[in-house]
Amino acid sequence: MGALLGRGGMCICVDCHWVERCQAYHAVERQHGVAHLTMRPDFSPRQPRIHVQVLDLDDAVASVGVEWDVRACSDFRPDPGRWRRWCPDGPLPT
Ligand code: SF4
């Protein structure tokens, strides 16, 4: 499982007005195995560009994880801290 708030890169959705309604972010949540902000996202973004990174995991058995982050999107609408306002007490998903 990777981080929604990326190391190095960053998922821009956490600061987007549409995050709790967005179908692309919903898919990113599913890939990360974290709880969904909503079970019925009703917003379909135009041209989200999802960055997929394969990572070596730190464990005894050689294995890899996959991290998904949205890095660009035609419908990005800045709303700094929106994800955090939806999850004020939740740990940052990692
Ligand atoms: S940046 Fe795009 S993909 Fe991410 S929440 Fe906003 S509209 Fe959805």
Q: What is the pLDDT of residues 37-78, one digit of tens each?
A: 999 999 999 999 998 888 887 766 667 888 888 999 999 999
Cβ count near 62 (within 10 Å) = 7
Which range has the worst mean pLDDT, 22-26, 44-48, 75-79, 86-90?
Answer: 86-90
Does a structural domain hold residue 6? no
Pick the residue whose CA is nearest to atom 1 on ligand 1: 76
Within-domain flag for 5: no
CA geometry: angle at 89 spanning 79 and 43, to 5°? 40
Q: How many C-beta atoms lie closer than 10 Å to residue 34's C-beta?
A: 18
Q: Is 2 in contact with 32 (CB distance < 8 Å)?
A: yes
Residue 51 placed within a domain = yes
First to last CA, the chain: 7
How many Å lie between the centroid of ligand 1 and the Cα of residue 88?
20
Pocket of ligand 1 (CB under 6 A): 12-13, 16, 18-19, 22, 24-25, 45, 48, 70, 73, 75-76
pTM: 0.81
- Number of domains into which the chain is organized: 1
Max intra-chain CA distance, the chain: 42
Domain that holds residue 63: 12-86
